[in-house]
Amino acid sequence: MRIGVLGTGIVGRSHAARLVDLGHEVVMGTRDVSRSLSVNTVDYMGNPPLREWLDRNPQVRLTPFSEAAKHGEIVINAINGMHALEGLHLAGNENLDGKVIIDITNPLDFSRGMPPSLFISNTDSLGEQIQRSFPSARIVKTLNTMSAPLQVNPRLLMDGDHHTFISGNDPEAKRVVVQLLEDYGWRNVIDIGDIASARGPEMVLPIWTRLLGVLKTPMFNFKLVYER
């Protein structure tokens, strides 16, 4: 399948590499290709320069956001939360029209330091804002509640016996995304409802960021126990 991955951070890179391993044709989007390739230092998250990563992942082609979105039958939104709408506008409404958009973004505001706060919450979510801004795209929020390595390979912990959520308005789009999640190795995907239900998983982030500080590792996730 042709998949466009919007974002060059750890999330975009993790999905792009895993999708290539699964046999997909992946194009990764960035704002400015030559500027992204000219960076030769590790980024603020400690990720190596993108050029080095692309050398190790030659099947991933780097293009502007718009070309990556156009390429994708499915588009993954791994843009910084503060700039997600801006980035998707660069991708272009015409290139997102009718497509399944897997939205992994979090509305995190780091402007007042750590831990970050949420710049949208409670009565709205970033997932909903994206859906309202791109009404013809089919937004499915998922995987925003765990770190990138676990998103694409949940079996790294407890053989995948932990949970992710899925929110979206379009049942067929959710079916497509669940299939992809199962290909990643997810066994426990809970459909929590329409795109407004993305408020819950986005509001999990304040506890996630505090757990990161306490556990000193990003390799953890939430597991639900419940009566069936």
Ligand X SMILES: NC(=O)c1ccc[n+]([C@@H]2O[C@H](COP(=O)([O-])OP(=O)(O)OC[C@H]3O[C@@H](n4cnc5c(N)ncnc54)[C@H](OP(=O)(O)O)[C@@H]3O)[C@@H](O)[C@H]2O)c1
Residues in contact with ligand X by the rule CB under 6 A: 7-12, 30-31, 36, 45, 78-81, 83, 86-87, 104-106, 108, 144, 147-148
DSSP element (H, E) containing 2: strand 2-6
Edge-to-edge strand ranges of the sheet holding 189-193: 61-64, 25-30, 2-6, 74-77, 100-103, 138-142, 164-168, 189-193
Q: Distance between CA 176 and CA 181 in Å, rounded? A: 9
Q: Which is nearer to ligand X, 24 or 107 (CB)?
A: 107
Q: Which is nearer to ligand X, 26 or 148 (CB)?
A: 148
Q: Distance between CA 114 and CA 67 in Å, rounded? A: 35
Q: Distance between CA 91 and CA 6 in Å, rounded? A: 8
Cβ 208 to ligand X, closest distance in Å? 8
Q: Which is nearer to ligand X, 51 or 172 (CB)?
A: 51
Q: Which is nearer to ligand X, 18 or 227 (CB)?
A: 18
Phi-psi region of 45 (alpha: psi -120 to 50; beta: other; left: phi over 0): alpha
Q: Which is nearer to ligand X, 7 or 72 (CB)?
A: 7
Cβ 93 to ligand X, closest distance in Å? 15
Cβ-based neighbours of 80, under 8 Å, separated by 6 or more: 7, 9, 87, 105
Cβ 222 to ligand X, closest distance in Å? 13
Cβ 170 to ligand X, closest distance in Å? 21
Q: Which is nearer to ligand X, 24 or 81 (CB)?
A: 81
Q: Distance between CA 88 and CA 7 in Å, rounded? A: 10
Q: Which of 187, 81, 76, 220 is nearest to 142 (CA)?
A: 76
Cβ 103 to ligand X, closest distance in Å? 9
Cβ 227 to ligand X, closest distance in Å? 29
At position 112, the amino acid (one-letter code) is: R
